[in-house]
Amino acid sequence: MNRILNRLRKHVLVTKKHGFIFCMVSLILSLVYVVAVFYKIATVPALFVDEANYASEVISFTNFGTDIHGLHNPIYFSSVWGQGQSVLYSFIVRPVIKMFGFNFFNFRFPMAFLSVVLIFIICGYVLHVSKNYLATFLMMLAFITSPWWFTMARWVLDANIAPLFVGFSLMALLFSFEKSKKWKQILGLFAGFSFRSGSFFI
């Protein structure tokens, strides 16, 4: 047992000593990942029927304040065949569409941006708690090499929106354990967004 603990202590010292190297490698990989996430985001992956329905709902909601069936201030999109989609992402993407017009880059941009932001927040928290550059590097590596996370970041589906806000909620919860009351308020906000996404994992 003592031998294991000594190895762990030695390992922590090594990661501190080489913290600058881990930071530089992390920065380079992060830049590569961000470029990859936004590269041809308007065309890859190809448009899926649910995403096309969502895009139609966003266009209608942004321009007229209604869903595609003319219902004002909807709390849920019934869509074309009544399959149902949450309105949460439409509120997020609406300012972007208002300012820059509708195209699929603008439509998918907030999704990709929030997925990248969540990675940085999680890695920052790991570094804050562990003070271990290697642990932080491995956490980042787990995210940027995940095919599912990469696909989720580029594809606007209800099933992809919920994990983002569940993740933000969990991070706010962790920060609320050691910070001021404002983090509990932020936790409540993101938890509400998570339920609002309509795709909570059941």
Q: How many domains does the chain have?
A: 1
The residue with tokens 């993101």 is: 190
Residue-by-residue pLDDT tens, the chain, 202 positions = 445 445 544 555 444 556 678 788 888 999 999 999 999 999 988 888 888 889 999 999 999 989 888 888 888 888 777 667 788 888 899 999 999 999 999 999 999 999 999 999 999 988 888 888 888 888 999 999 999 999 999 999 888 888 888 888 888 778 777 766 666 666 666 666 555 555 444 4
Within a domain: residue 59? yes
Within a domain: residue 171? no
Please count the helices (runs of H) and the strands (runs of E) in the chain. Answer: 9, 0
Within a domain: residue 180? no
- 72 bridge partner residues: 66
Q: Phi then psi for 55, rounded to 5 degrees?
A: -60, -40
Within a domain: residue 133? no
C-alpha neighbours within 13 Å on the C-beta side of residue 98: 11
pLDDT of residue 13: 47
Q: Phi then psi for 103, rounded to 5 degrees?
A: -155, 170
Within a domain: residue 189? no
- List Cα–Cα distances, 144 to 27, 55, 127, 137, in angstroms: 12, 27, 17, 11
Within a domain: residue 98? yes
Note down the domain range covering 51: 47-102
Within a domain: residue 28? no
Judged on CB neighbours under 10 Å (0-12, 13-18, 19+), 141 is middle
pLDDT of residue 5: 40
Preceding amide of 163 cis, omega within 30: no
Taking alpha carbons only, the member of 141, 162, 150 closest to residue 44 is: 150
Helix, strand, or coil here: 83? coil
pLDDT of residue 179: 62
Judged on CB neighbours under 10 Å (0-12, 13-18, 19+), 144 is buried
Within a domain: residue 129? no
